[in-house]
Structure 1
Amino acid sequence: MNLRPPFRLLFASIVIVFLSVGCHSGDKSPDKSPTWNTVQDSTDRVLTIQGGLKGPESVQYDSEQDLFFISNFNGDAAADSNGFISRAQPDGTIDSLKFITGTTAHPLHGPRGMTIKGDTLFVADQKGIHGFNRHSGTHISFIDFTDFEPGFLNDIALGPQGQLYVTDSRKPQLYQISGKTVSIAVDSLSHVNNGIMLDEANQRLVMAAWEDGKTFLTWQPSSNTLDSAGTGLGGNYDGIEPISKNSFIVTSQADSTLQLIKNGSGQIFVNVPGKPADIGVDTKRNRVAVPYIALNRVDIWQLPNQE
């Protein structure tokens, strides 16, 4: 095809536009900024992370490295030694599917909730808490919980004084880790709990109720005080993340929603396509990453602006 110079330029421009559309990663900006009062659904999600994920249960955002860690059950969450943690970029690219796999001495079985303290990524697992270097993935430590006969160690959070706190979604207990020493911080809670977060503004921990629990329990380590942060809609709450001084977001597996809990009451702001597990918040882009164990993927939505 013999094209004159002006037509060659036009033809080249058309090709460039076509290729740029064809190679789009799937990351899209919402048509307009969402609000807490407008309920989003699957058509509003920004992007999806998938391709090799096996039962993703939890997402932890690393703000310094600007990336996500995704824990994978890879089948049963029991002691099968085949769990792994993936590393993904904010655009949805998985740059290391099995970034962390544990060791022969301390394998990952069904990794779930995670938190970061310094350069260490702490991961809750079937028999205890693993520590990994968040840069290299190297195994650093393992804190054994078997003497406590845990039911299902679920989520982990950093407390106000630097201790780690771990929930058990089959026992109404809250565990504390100081150094390498494990103890029961709170025994005989009113119900079992799943997710846990630090409410830094109020120097307390907030727990997401599981099974029959409807109340988001709070515990203040300095005064050993239990209280309530309100109730939500649905039930079987899993992931929980702070948003502002008086609000946080949670996932409900009872009705497959993301909810804002503000001043003690809940409202739905996203309807999701599966049972949402332990979420992570991209604080740089104000986005929430939602894993689904059964769907083998993580969806990401834009969060509304803070109120």
Structure 2
Amino acid sequence: MKKRLLSITTAMILSQQVVAEPELTQKISNLPGVESIVFDENKNVYFTSLQAGNEKDDGSIIALNSKYEFIATIVNGLDNPKGISIKGELLYIADMTDLIEVNLRSGTVIKHHVESAEFLNDVAIDKSGNVYISDMFTSEIYKFSDNKVSKWMDSPELENPNGLLFIGDDLYIAAWGYFNKNNPMEAPFGRVLKVNPKTKVITAITEEPLGNLDGLQLDNKGQLIVSDWKQGVIYSVSMEGEAQKIIDLPRGPGDIYYSKKENKLLIPMAIDGEILSLTE
């Protein structure tokens, strides 16, 4: 009897240690300089930003169907488009020193120039429809409200913010790591941060620096998913700041997208010009 109980207990312990390995299930190729991807549930369409090459104004936003097949170019002639966010019929894109606003119904494209910006990177929208844009080179966040862009926060404590995500009323930040003199590849690691928009108090979610962080999403378990561009790592981060590596990748995972419906993570890989699909 004792031997049988021991074997059952051992089996239970071993079964609790089994963790589902993530699986790369698909590669969507021929996407030069792909940086960001979002999904429009109403249209059943993905929008993705292509930075393309080094030619002036060769960047674009394209639409893909649910099978990741090309539908159309939504806007072209962009400089270096990165983060995308969507609200209703309006698509917002961070494009170096401009916030691009696209009306998907009318096709109208408006460039909101941000005078003091250097490297606009990601876009997030709060419950009231205000748009927030990170500037990774100046460690600033801008706010677009009432058809006007203004500087909202300016602090080295933002650790050169890259990815932005609203969860409830709080703005979460994937920080690249504070640097100056336009030398991001030599930057120290950044942390996952949280900002209270009313008080502008900054709280560190990860107490220790985690990486040169880029994309930021929230999964079905209430965990943050964070991409580390320079090290090529995807992390799962609890709200208490505990980080666990999900997968190692080549350098370059950018502004990721998580589908709660499909429990699937889409990972733009700018250097390789492809999007990876990761499922558990």
TM-score by length of 2: 0.82
Alignment partners' CA distance in 2, 1:297 and 1:279: 12
AA matched with 1:139 = T
1:1-307 equivalences under 5 Å are 37-40=19-22, 44-51=23-30, 53-76=31-54, 80-96=56-72, 98-101=73-76, 107-134=77-104, 138-145=107-114, 147-148=115-116, 150-190=117-157, 191-200=159-168, 203-210=169-176, 211-230=187-206, 234-243=210-219, 246-262=222-238, 263-302=240-279, 304=280
2:122 counterpart SS class: strand
Alignment partners' CA distance in 1, 2:82 and 2:89: 19
1:65 counterpart SS class: coil
1:252-276 deviation digits (Å, cap 9, x = unpaired)? 1232121111121210112224420
Alignment partners' CA distance in 2, 1:238 and 1:232: 16
1:232/1:159 Cα in 2 relative to 1: closer, same or farther (>3 Å)?
farther
1:47/1:183 Cα in 2 relative to 1: closer, same or farther (>3 Å)?
same
Alignment partners' CA distance in 2, 1:232 and 1:299: 28
Q: CA offset at residue 135 of structure 1? A: 5.1
Assess if the C-alpha contact under 8 Å between 1:217 and 1:228 holds in 2: yes
Q: CA offset at residue 133 of structure 1? A: 2.5
Q: CA offset at residue 244 of structure 1? A: 5.3
AA matched with 2:108 = H
Alignment partners' CA distance in 2, 1:130 and 1:205: 21
AA matched with 1:50 = S
Q: Which runs of 5+ in 2 are unaligned?
A: 1-16, 177-186
1:256/1:291 Cα in 2 relative to 1: closer, same or farther (>3 Å)?
same
CA-based RMSD: 2.3
1:89/1:282 Cα in 2 relative to 1: closer, same or farther (>3 Å)?
farther
1:149-180 deviation digits (Å, cap 9, x = unpaired)? x1200001002432111111111111111122
Q: CA offset at residue 36 of structure 1? A: 10
Q: CA offset at residue 234 of structure 1? A: 4.9
Assess if the C-alpha contact under 8 Å between 1:49 and 1:94 holds in 2: no
1:23 paired residue number: none
Alignment partners' CA distance in 2, 1:139 and 1:56: 23
1:87/1:232 Cα in 2 relative to 1: closer, same or farther (>3 Å)?
farther
Q: CA offset at residue 188 of structure 1? A: 1.4
Alignment partners' CA distance in 2, 1:74 and 1:167: 21
Q: Which runs of 5+ in 1 are unaligned?
A: 1-34, 102-106
1:231/1:139 Cα in 2 relative to 1: closer, same or farther (>3 Å)?
farther
1:259/1:37 Cα in 2 relative to 1: closer, same or farther (>3 Å)?
farther
1:271/1:115 Cα in 2 relative to 1: closer, same or farther (>3 Å)?
same
Q: CA offset at residue 240 of structure 1? A: 0.4
Based on CA coordinates, which of the two structures has the bigger radius of gyration? 1
Assess if the C-alpha contact under 8 Å between 1:232 and 1:261 holds in 2: no
1:46 counterpart SS class: strand
1:209/1:280 Cα in 2 relative to 1: closer, same or farther (>3 Å)?
same
Q: CA offset at residue 117 of structure 1? A: 1.6
AA matched with 1:73 = Q
1:196/1:259 Cα in 2 relative to 1: closer, same or farther (>3 Å)?
same
The alignment of Structure 1 onto Structure 2 pairs a total of residues equal to 252
Q: CA offset at residue 74 of structure 1? A: 1.0
Q: CA offset at residue 61 of structure 1? A: 1.6
Alignment partners' CA distance in 1, 2:217 and 2:108: 26
Matched residues, percent identical?
Answer: 24
Q: CA offset at residue 284 of structure 1? A: 3.0
